[in-house]
C-alpha cells in the first residue's frame, strides 16, 4: 500500500515513505536488519554525548518477554500488536553521568532523535515502525525491573507491512485513509508566537 507523504516542499524519499501502520505481517524481522536499526539508534546525536537512550527489545517467535511487553500496551494497541514480530520499549536515562541529582533536561529529546534514526533506517530496509504512547509505564517498569531515574517513553512495533483486512473496521478505515499534516504556516513562527514566519509561502 502506497501512503507516501504529499508534501508542499521537496522531501527525501525515506521521509516521504515513512508511515505508521497497524497492519503488520507475521513475517519475522531478520536479525541483521534488527541490529542495523539498533545501530542507527546508537549513532544519534545527544546533548553532551550522554546517549541517554535504552531499549528493551523482544521478538514474538523467540522471546517470552514479547507477551509481557504486549501486556503493557493499552487494550486497543494489544489487539493489533499480536501480529507484530518485534516489540520494543524506549527508555530515557533522566540524569547526567553517574549523578542522579543532575537532571538531564534534554533526555527525552535525545531519545526521540535516537528513535528517529531507527525509524528512517527501518524505512530504508523495507520495514515499518509504529510508536505508541498508549501503554502502562508503571507496569512496564515493574515487569522489566527498570531502575528509578530511567523513564519508559514509548512502545515501538517493528515489522513488515501486512494486510489492512486483518484489522477491525474502525482501524482499517484509519489504515487506508490519506495521511495529513498541519500546514507549515500554523507551525513556524519568527517575530511573534502564532504569526506565520515570512519564510513560509502564503
Q: 8-24, pLDDT tens digit by residue?
A: 999 999 999 999 999 99
Sort residue 2 into left (φ over 0), alpha (ψ -120 to 50) or beta: beta
Instruction: Please give the helix or strand (H or E) that residue 54 lies within, else none.
Output: strand 53-59
Contact status, residue 140 vs residue 72, Cβ threshold 8 Å: yes
Structure confidence at residue 201 (pLDDT): 79
Task: Label residue 180 exposed, middle or buried (CB < 10 Å: 0-12, 13-18, 19+).
Answer: exposed
CB contact burial 87-117 (16+ within 10 A = b; e otherwise): bbbbbbbbbbeeeeeeebebbeebbbbbbeb
Instruction: Give tens-digit pLDDT for 143-154.
Output: 999 999 999 999
CA 71 and chain centroid, separation: 18
Among 133, 131, 108, 107, CA closest to 118: 131
pLDDT, mean of residues 98-110: 97
Helix (H, G, I), strand (E, B) or coil at 124: helix
Among 72, 81, 78, CA closest to 152: 72
State the sign of the Cα–Cα–Cα–Cα dihedral 84, 35, 48, 101: positive
Question: Whole-model pTM?
Answer: 0.95
Q: How confident is the model at residue 173 (pLDDT cuts 50, 70, 90)?
A: very high
- List domains and CATH numbers for the chain: 13-163 (3.40.109.10)
Q: How confident is the model at residue 179 (pLDDT cuts 50, 70, 90)?
A: very high
Task: Label residue 136 exposed, middle or buried (CB < 10 Å: 0-12, 13-18, 19+).
Answer: middle
From CA 85, how far away is CA 31, in angstroms rounded?
11
Mean pLDDT comparison of 35-44, 167-176, 177-186, highest-scoring range: 35-44
From CA 52, how far away is CA 45, in angstroms rounded?
10
Helix (H, G, I), strand (E, B) or coil at 127: coil
Q: How confident is the model at residue 56 (pLDDT cuts 50, 70, 90)?
A: very high
Structure confidence at residue 202 (pLDDT): 63
pLDDT at residue 44 is higher than 80: yes
Amino acid at each position: 500500500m502506497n501512503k507516501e507523504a504529499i508534501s508542499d516542499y521537496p522531501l527525501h524519499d525515506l521521509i516521504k515513505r515513512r508511515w505508521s501502520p497497524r497492519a503488520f505481517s507475521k513475517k519475522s524481522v531478520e536479525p541483521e536488519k534488527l541490529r542495523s536499526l539498533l545501530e542507527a539508534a546508537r549513532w544519534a546525536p545527544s546533548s553532551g554525548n550522554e546517549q541517554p537512550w535504552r531499549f528493551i527489545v523482544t521478538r514474538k517467535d523467540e522471546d517470552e518477554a514479547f507477551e509481557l511487553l504486549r501486556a503493557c500496551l493499552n487494550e486497543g494497541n494489544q489487539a493489533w500488536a499480536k501480529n507484530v514480530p518485534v516489540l520494543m520499549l524506549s527508555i530515557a536515562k533522566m540524569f547526567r553521568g553517574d549523578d542522579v541529582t543532575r537532571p538531564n533536561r534534554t533526555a527525552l529529546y535525545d531519545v526521540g532523535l535516537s528513535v528517529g534514526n531507527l525509524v528512517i533506517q527501518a524505512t530504508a530496509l523495507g520495514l515499518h515502525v509504529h510508536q505508541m504512547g498508549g501503554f502502562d509505564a508503571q507496569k512496564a517498569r515493574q515487569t522489566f525491573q527498570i531502575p528509578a531515574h530511567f523513564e519508559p517513553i514509548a512502545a515501538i512495533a517493528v515489522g513488515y507491512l501486512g494486510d489492512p483486512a486483518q484489522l477491525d473496521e474502525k482501524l482499517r478505515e484509519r489504515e487506508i485513509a490519506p495521511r495529513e499534516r498541519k500546514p507549515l504556516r500554523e507551525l513556524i513562527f519568527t517575530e511573534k508566537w502564532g504569526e506565520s514566519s515570512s519564510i513560509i509561502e502564503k
